[in-house]
Amino acid sequence: MAKKQPLVKVYISASFNNTLVTVTDPGGNVIAWGSSGASGFKGTRKATPYAATTAVEKVLQKAKNEANVEEVEIYVKGPGPGRDAALRAIRAAGVKISLIADVTPMPHNGPRPKKKRRV
């Protein structure tokens, strides 16, 4: 049942309203997932660093029980307040971190600007 996964990937999506955490095996199959909302926070409290820390702790505990996680690669996405708190929570959980990557999408040119204002 508890299959040994020496290396897993942790995806953290930190928006201004919530923090989503997903743990996958190297093939991309989800082992465990959670969010600030799923951890019991509602409304604006979901967007706090403490809520992100709680979400990461719950998800990593579930992943350790499911797959005996030892080492993680972390992929962080988004500008939310839970980014740094989630990284600190992973470090405090006692797993080895082999990679931290920021995969936030950045526009190279973006949408067309609004038309020039005439007075």
- Position 5 pLDDT exceeds 80: no
Give the domains, in start order, of the chain with CATH numbers.
7-102 (3.30.420.80)
Give me the amino acid identity at 116: K
- pLDDT tens-place string over residues 25-63: 999 999 999 999 999 999 999 999 999 999 999 999 999
Task: For residues 20 and 2, give the distance between their C-alpha atoms in angstroms, rounded to a whole number.
Answer: 24
On the CB side of 16, how many CA atoms lie within 13 Å of its CA?
Answer: 0
- pLDDT tens-place string over residues 92-119: 988 999 999 999 999 899 999 999 999 8
Element of type H or E holding 34: strand 30-35
Exposed e or buried b for every residue in 11-25, given b needs 16+ CB within 10 A?
bbbbbeebbbbbbbb
